[in-house]
């Protein structure tokens, strides 16, 4: 199930997912340090694995 992870002020983690059968989404928030640490690690991994937008820019205009 697709979801998003948001870390707010390095203190609160939000996990948001689309509802499988209904429209809209559900969002859960946590503040325990272990969950915040996990979310921070997931976001760091995603940032490390991503490519800069410049690498994907259309070069046809240049």
| pLDDT tens-place string over residues 2-44 | 789 899 998 999 999 998 888 999 999 999 999 999 999 998 9
Residue 4 is assigned to a structural domain of this protein: yes
Residue 20: the pLDDT is 84
As for how many domains the chain has, the answer is: 1
Residue 55 is assigned to a structural domain of this protein: no
Residue 51: the pLDDT is 73
Expressed as residue numbers, the domain containing 7 is 1-17+26-47
Residue 59 is assigned to a structural domain of this protein: no
Residue 57 is assigned to a structural domain of this protein: no
Give CA 24 to chain center in angstroms: 18
pTM, entire model: 0.63
Q: CB atoms < 10 A from the CB of 39, how many?
A: 20
What does the block give as tokens for 33? 């340090």
Q: Which residue in this structure is represented by tokens 């859960």?
A: 28
Q: Is it the case that residue 55 has pLDDT exceeding 80? A: no
Residue 54 is assigned to a structural domain of this protein: no
């Amino acid at each position: 199930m697709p979801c998003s992870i948001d870390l707010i002020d390095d203190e609160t983690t939000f996990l948001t997912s689309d509802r499988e059968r209904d429209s809209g989404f559900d969002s859960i928030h946590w503040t325990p340090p272990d969950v915040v640490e996990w979310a921070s690690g997931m976001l760091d991994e995603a940032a490390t694995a991503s490519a800069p937008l410049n690498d994907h820019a259309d070069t046809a205009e240049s």
